[in-house]
Structure 1
Amino acid sequence: MRRAHTVEEIRAAEAALMATLPEGALMERASTGLAHHVADLLGSCYGRTVRLLVGSGDNGGDALHAGAVLARRGCRVEVRALSESPHPAGLAALRAAGGRVLEAGEAGRRPDLVLDAIVGIGGRPGLRADAVAALAEVAGVPVVAVDVPSGVGVDTGELPDGGGTHVTADVTVTFGTHRVCHLVDPAAAAAGAVHVVGLGGPSGDLALPPSAVTALQAADVARLVPRPGGADHKYSRGVVGVRAGSARYPGAGLLCVAGAASGLAGMVRYVGDDVVGDRVRSQHPEVVGAGRVQAWAVGSGTDAGARRTLQEARADDVPLVVDADALAHVTDFGGPLASAVVLTPHAGELATMLDVSRGEVEARPLASARRAAETFGAVVLLKGRRTLVADRDGDVRVSASGTPWLATAGAGDVLTGLVGALLAAGLTPYDAASVGAWLHGSAATLASSGGPLVAGEVARAIPAAVRALTPGAARG
């Protein structure tokens, strides 16, 4: 599992580790790891030029010491200093290795790679004018960010308000652990590929507390996916009910059923529009009609019947996953929705639920998902490039699986059915939503193979995504 920590947590852990090490040892470890990653990206150091954009503090020190390592390996290393007092020891090491600081107004060589060390984890969103100018000098050159892309919100995953400037990196090299901005959009998109350099503390690395923002990996999903035992039968594996689709949107009902009928629950029941029901039974003969269920998937394509279908499902007092049209009615009935609820809005739907603009949700997805989970007393699955699953206690899981081709009509209906099946199979709402989001993305990647896909193909690929979670992964 990838764990992202706050600036305060990281600083406390680094201070504790530094107390056990000789002076400068932690920076030496960080800068050496950084230099190795840069050298790997360059392929060969000889004859290559690296530009360091360096502010003050330890972030600049990491870059300067890394620059010294690269200079000793044959790189031409030039520094654009954006502070009157760059890290003294780092600057001395760089100069001793043959690197040089550019004078004000000096253009320098066109670099092969830029190292962004303008500000570190203590920086605030946005950049000063001199940093903006320094970035403009090297526009189009690949950028490696040191620790975090300068100018992003480290603990929030947000970008500067009002279109302020920030670094967009191709690669970010960080130290000890992920920061929130590495996992959460929109800042995660500015971080590029993230590599973590271990700092090698006495117990392996930084001693950090449990983190509130995490990202499941394949091994975590393998441990959580419900698997039948030898004594299980269709009822013990869970029965999921689907109330989805309408005369206007029959496809939504079919796709929601397809996600639910992917094999993770023992039985699927469909209750809804008769025409949709006929189509469901034609395409999914294993699906049956009304009866007792362990969870409901409600709302996809229910149109004018959304309120009624939600009310009927809520009356059973079983876990619910609520999507699309039904999201507008989650507060209509007073009191808690049910024993356990997952809400699955996209940014526009969540904006309506919170009475804010869509732009507000897209700019602050982490804060918005947490606010919604607290407001509605439910797990909130906010769909996006980095889907967020927020629990009521503030914990958030980020799902980075998937492909841009997943942005296709009906994909959310499949996800709703899939999460419903996982709820019926016995997962908690938090686990069902986060495992469902991960499997949904993985299935889309398999179905796409790098090209276009439609929602039905995602549903059909879910069993393959589960099979890809090998027994070895389950033990990992």
Structure 2
Amino acid sequence: MRTAYRVQDVRAAEAALMARLPEGALMRRAAAGLAGACAGLLRRVYGARVVLLVGSGDNGGDALYAGALLARRGAGVSAVRLGRRVHEAGLDALVRAGGRVADDPYGVLARADLVVDGITGIGGRGGLRPEAVPVVRAARESGAVVVAVDLPSGVDADTGAVEGEAVRADATVTFGAYKPGLLVDPAREYAGALRLVDIGIRDLLPGAPELQALQHADVARLLPVPAAESDKYRRGVVGVVAGSARYPGAAVLAVAGALRGGAGAVRYVGPAGDAVLARYPETLVHPGPPGRAGRVQAWVIGPGLADTPGVADVLASDVPVLVDADGLRLLDPAAVRARPAPTLLTPHAGEAAALLGTVREDVEARRLDAVRELAGRYGATVLLKGSTTLVADPSPGVPVRVNPTGTPWLATAGSGDVLSGLTGSLLAAGLTARDAGSVGAYLHGLAARRAATGGAGVSPTGAGAYPYDGGRAAPGAAGGAPLTAHEVARALPGAWRDVAAAAPGA
């Protein structure tokens, strides 16, 4: 499992470690990891042209010490000063190793093979200062590989917000712990591929992490597995209230996801029964209302619902409920908070904005804040869909989970309906709302990647979710071809098998 910690926690751990070490030892430890990562990206260090963009903080010192190590291996290293001051000991180390301070930043950038962003650190707020913007643009336009030190300059480490100009890195080398902004959009798109360098603070980090990103082994431990004595009812029955005369396909897609989510049976309730049975004859169909359809262990309501009734009936039940799409329009926060069983809301950014009384752009700019606010306001677990899918528990001290799987091809009509059915089935199989949302999003994203790439997934450890390969692909972008929601549903068993193979003893 990957974990990400807030800046104040990382700094507290660093301070505790520095109190035990000789002065400057921690910075040199970080610089050694940074230099090693840069050397790997260069492939050949001797004769390479490296430019350091150096600000006033410790990130600038890390860059300078790393530059000194690269210079000793034969690289031509030039430092561009972009702060009112620079780390003097680091600058002295660079010069003694054969590096230099560049008078003309644009000249050295035009010939650079690799650019190191050490302008601002994890405490930076807002975008880049105006004087740094043209230099950063020149670095990006040079064609050189851009490596960020700890975090791309100009992005917010704690929230993932990007307010103004920021560095777009091909890779980010971060120290000690991931920061939330490295895993959450929009900042994640600026970070590129990630590499974590262990500097010895792991056991000193206080409290719970801000974020968790599950990997194959974590998800494998959560998958529902039938026992020898199981029957379809013991495995759980999920009820799906979806579709309408206008949108019968939403019902079919939600059922497609539900049938592949671990529950023993799927009970469909609504006006699209004929369409559902034509595609999935194993489904139990009832015209409604939900309260008369029979016993279920969880409900899914909302995909393609339009004005079809049923939301109030489902919310009045005593089993877990997943609310998506059209069902979200009818929610009363007080009614959700009063439910005796868990509720899982699965909005996209536009639906989340409507629930919060704001605009979509605000949600997309501050996804982590938005998902926490929604969970607190409704007293429900919230799965906020999007380029970064987040799962937040209503309890403020519980880490938010960020989903590391997926592909941009997943932005296609009906994919959210499949996710709703899949996740609702996991609820019926006995997973908590937080675990069901996390596992559902993980399998859904992995299935989409398999479908888009002809069967390629991520590695058994989940390492492919945030690749460190020196390339320019954004995290999770795995190439491939367009896909449909039904293809995502059909790929779910393969994704499940991939994950299950990572279970201990598998």
Shorter chain as denominator, the TM-score bin is over 0.9
Alignment partner, residue 117 of structure 1:
118
Alignment partner, residue 101 of structure 1:
101
CA deviation map 1:169-200 (0-9, x unaligned): 11000001100101111111111111000113
Residues 115-124 or 393-402, more deviating: 393-402
* Matching residue within 189, 199, 212 for 1:214: 212
Alignment partner, residue 159 of structure 2:
156
Q: Is the 8 A contact 2:393 2:434 kept in 1?
A: yes
* Matching residue within 475, 478, 487 for 1:457: 487
CA deviation map 1:429-460 (0-9, x unaligned): 11111111111001111111121110011111
Q: What pairs with 1:334-353 in structure 2 (closer than 5 Å)?
A: 334=335, 336-337=338-339, 339-353=341-355
CA deviation map 1:403-453 (0-9, x unaligned): 111110000000000110010011111111111111100111111112111
Question: d(CA) in 1 for partners of 2:169 and 2:339?
Answer: 43
Alignment partner, residue 63 of structure 2:
63
Alignment partner, residue 230 of structure 1:
228
Q: CA deviation at 1:284?
A: 1.2
Alignment partner, residue 403 of structure 1:
407
Question: d(CA) in 2 for partners of 1:11 and 1:192?
Answer: 24
Alignment partner, residue 28 of structure 2:
28
Report the 3-state secondary structure (helix = DSSP H, G, I; strand = E; otherwise coil) of the residue aligned with 1:80.
strand
Distance 1:457 1:105, change over 3 A: closer
Question: d(CA) in 1 for partners of 2:14 and 2:281?
Answer: 59
Alignment partner, residue 261 of structure 1:
259
Q: What pairs with 1:39-438 in structure 2 (closer than 5 Å)?
A: 39-103=39-103, 107-108=107-108, 110-140=111-141, 141-160=144-163, 164-200=164-200, 206-273=204-271, 276-289=272-285, 290-305=293-308, 308-331=309-332, 334=335, 336-337=338-339, 339-394=341-396, 395-438=399-442
Distance 1:80 1:362, change over 3 A: same
Alignment partner, residue 499 of structure 2:
469
Distance 1:193 1:28, change over 3 A: same
Distance 1:73 1:105, change over 3 A: closer
Q: Which runs of 5+ in 1 are unaligned?
A: none
Question: d(CA) in 1 for partners of 2:114 and 2:405?
Answer: 29
Question: d(CA) in 2 for partners of 1:356 and 1:207?
Answer: 35
Alignment partner, residue 457 of structure 2:
none
Question: d(CA) in 1 for partners of 2:380 and 2:106?
Answer: 57
Report the 3-state secondary structure (helix = DSSP H, G, I; strand = E; otherwise coil) of the residue aligned with 1:389.
strand
Report the 3-state secondary structure (helix = DSSP H, G, I; strand = E; otherwise coil) of the residue aligned with 1:270.
strand
Q: CA deviation at 1:338?
A: 5.0
The two structures have a TM-score, normalised by structure 1, of 0.95
Residues 242-251 or 277-286, more deviating: 277-286
Question: d(CA) in 1 for partners of 2:433 and 2:162?
Answer: 30
Q: CA deviation at 1:337?
A: 4.3
Report the 3-state secondary structure (helix = DSSP H, G, I; strand = E; otherwise coil) of the residue aligned with 1:451.
coil
Distance 1:59 1:333, change over 3 A: closer
Q: CA deviation at 1:377?
A: 1.0
Question: d(CA) in 2 for partners of 1:181 and 1:172?
Answer: 12
1:351 maps to a residue whose letter is: A
Question: d(CA) in 2 for partners of 1:107 and 1:43?
Answer: 23
Question: d(CA) in 1 for partners of 2:123 and 2:278?
Answer: 59
Equivalenced residues, count? 467
CA deviation map 1:338-370 (0-9, x unaligned): 511111111111111111111111111111111
Q: CA deviation at 1:332?
A: 7.8
Q: Is the 8 A contact 2:105 2:135 kept in 1?
A: no
Question: d(CA) in 1 for partners of 2:265 and 2:157?
Answer: 44
The two structures have a TM-score, normalised by structure 2, of 0.89
Runs of 4 or more above 4 Å deviation: none
Report the 3-state secondary structure (helix = DSSP H, G, I; strand = E; otherwise coil) of the residue aligned with 1:345.
coil
The percentage of aligned residue pairs carrying the same residue is 55
Q: CA deviation at 1:85?
A: 2.3
Q: CA deviation at 1:231?
A: 2.1
Q: Is the 8 A contact 1:176 1:205 kept in 2?
A: no
Question: d(CA) in 2 for partners of 1:386 and 1:211?
Answer: 18
- The CA RMSD over aligned residues, in Å, is 1.7
Question: d(CA) in 2 for partners of 1:100 and 1:174?
Answer: 25
Q: Is the 8 A contact 2:52 2:64 kept in 1?
A: yes
Report the 3-state secondary structure (helix = DSSP H, G, I; strand = E; otherwise coil) of the residue aligned with 1:145.
strand
Question: d(CA) in 2 for partners of 1:190 and 1:263?
Answer: 34
Question: d(CA) in 2 for partners of 1:321 and 1:390?
Answer: 14
Q: Which runs of 5+ in 2 are unaligned?
A: 286-292, 454-479
Distance 1:327 1:474, change over 3 A: farther
Question: d(CA) in 2 for partners of 1:75 and 1:254?
Answer: 60
Q: CA deviation at 1:217?
A: 1.0
Question: d(CA) in 2 for partners of 1:173 and 1:219?
Answer: 24
Report the 3-state secondary structure (helix = DSSP H, G, I; strand = E; otherwise coil) of the residue aligned with 1:3.
strand
